[in-house]
A and B are shown apart, each in its own frame.
Chain A
Amino acid sequence: MSERAQRLLELADDELILGWRDSEWTGIAPSLEEDVAFSSIAQNEIGHARALYELAARDLGTTADALAFDRSPDEYRSAPLVELRRLDWARTIARHWLYETADELRLAELKSSDDAEVAGLAAKMDREEVYHRMHAQMWAGRLRGEERFESAVEELWPYALGVLAPEQRAALAKRVGRDEVEAVERGTHSDELRELWEEMTMVRRSVPGATW
């Protein structure tokens, strides 16, 4: 697999799995308004995943759906941060804020890529991510200083570092105001991903090869 396809899959898998995890709040978010907002953010992430899978699928001679749903859990390239099972709200916001902060750095790099397709898609995604970041910062600002939020950031920090390539981690540490620690790297998956995968691919597996 080309390095480009590999990179695209990492990104796409992060966005798909986080989109799924965030969508687990639909119907039970802290307020009706937040329910709509967070569900909408989840849908955006899945939309980004689709666009990324489509690019990767062309390189790999397959389809976006096949990449999203037909691989085995072990083949996913997502970062462990996005795989964690539905957390309480403070931990969800801690993850959201850490992920969006990391994602901003990652997208900034991709936007200046020599690969025009990747740069173009990154710019498109970033125009939506601006509002995700506003949302994340707004909530992080509100919960900052709360014990549950602070301990969640502490706990998830090594996972957040694992979202980025090693050379980008110092910038993240600076932005978040924390010291770099050993990251929880991509490539290993918890049982939580397998559970999610079972649910996520259930309908598609029920009638293999069907056109939906």
Chain B
Amino acid sequence: MIFEVFRQERRGQAFAHAGSIAAPDAEFAEAWAREQYGRRQESEALWVVPREAIREVHDFPDELNKTYHRVDGYSLKAKLKEARERAGTAAP
């Protein structure tokens, strides 16, 4: 079985993917993850997750180019410039 390991570097931080481990069961995965990702005190905590438990989601179609869904759909630079001109203030 493949287990994905997520590592929290400091208390309160988000867990980030650290790598994966091939192990016969969860017990082995835990023991091996502990040594692989914790023996140098580099982790506050680990999540050891069977890969099957992870639902991978991908492919996000945007056939009609709905840029208003995206941050880059709003160019603030031009709008800011117009607003400043209207207000008669210069760029800082």
Interface residue ranges, A against B (CB under 8 Å): 31, 33-34, 36-37, 40-41, 131, 134-135, 138, 142
Contact = CB atoms under 8 A, between A and B. Distances in A.
Contacts of B46: none
**Interchain residue pairs A-B with the least CB separation, the first 3:** A33-B32, A37-B35, A40-B35
Nearest to B33: A33
B87 to A, nearest CB: 62
B49 interface: no
Main secondary structure on A side of the interface with B = helix
A31 B31 CA distance: 13
B24 A33 contact: no
Given A40-B39, A138-B27, A31 B34 contact: no
A33 B23 contact: yes
Q: Which bucket holds chain B's interface residue count? A: 10 to 19
Nearest to B3: A33
Main secondary structure on B side of the interface with A = helix
Nearest to A137: B27
B27 A131 contact: no
A33 to B, nearest CB: 4
A31 B1 CA distance: 13
B35 A36 contact: yes
Nearest to A41: B35
Contacts of B24: 142
A41 B36 CA distance: 12
Contact of A37 (B22, B27, B32): B32
Contacts of A37: 31-32, 34-36
Contacts of B28: 33, 138, 142
A131 B31 contact: yes
B22 A134 contact: no
Nearest to B27: A138
